[in-house]
Structure 1
Amino acid sequence: MGHKLENRLWGAWVTVVFAICSQVLYGQVLQHPLHWIGVVFGWSLNTFATLAATTVISAYVLDCFPQHVALASSWLNFWRVTGGFVITYFNPNWIAHNGPAITFGCQAAIVAVSLASVIATQIWGSRWRMKFPVPAPEN
């Protein structure tokens, strides 16, 4: 079996497991009178999942676009930062309305469903690259 860029995405499966566990734990600890160390542990798992996912996705995208590293990195960081800022606008109201357990449980479900995009890329990514080749570098 030769080197296939999509093999890099197997690491995303691990990050999804950590992200789901972290969201559920975080929501449950905030919802119920559980020990504060649960918040620390949940947030630590979430931080690890975010950093690991960023590393996995960056490695894949930068391998796909070796002549466009600056542009690819810029887009990855733009979406990561945008997601981090946007959630602060709706998450407090969502938590106030539904409680932390439901809010973070729904976010865990969103993470789980997002794994479908990774699976699709693992299955069809090489075909997509053949059908839509990388443009030539501009400089």
Structure 2
Amino acid sequence: MLSKPGFGDRELADSFYQALFNRFYDSFDSPIQTLLIDCQFGLAPSPTGVQTFFILAPNMAIAEELTQRIEIIIKRTSDLMAGIAQTGICVAPQKGSDPESSPGRSNAPAQYMLAKIFPHPSTSRCNVD
């Protein structure tokens, strides 16, 4: 007989993911850790069911810096998280952004997140030269 999921199962899953994300963060040298310190991390399937590791950057500048270091990020993700086939670098809309700096924008919060998805090499072997 299978046990029913309970509050303890949720706590265990949260603890596991927090430890995994901490290990991911700790696996980098100081310059990349500095970029990751204010980021949030998550795992979710894409609309097509591909398991994806998400890094949610606090702003576009950090997202761009992480994108420039995507090869090492993908390597560490692959080493630590078997079964993850792609990594996404995301930026959430800025809350309370200054409408003066963005002509035509209202004070209403943006509704969409920006993301760039990077497939891991093992999922794109057909592109090998």
Q: TM-score, normalised by structure 2?
A: 0.29
Q: Which has the higher contact order (CA 8 A, sep 6+)?
A: 1
Q: TM-score, normalised by structure 1?
A: 0.28
User: More strand by proportion, 1 or 2?
Assistant: 2
User: More helix by proportion, 1 or 2?
Assistant: 1
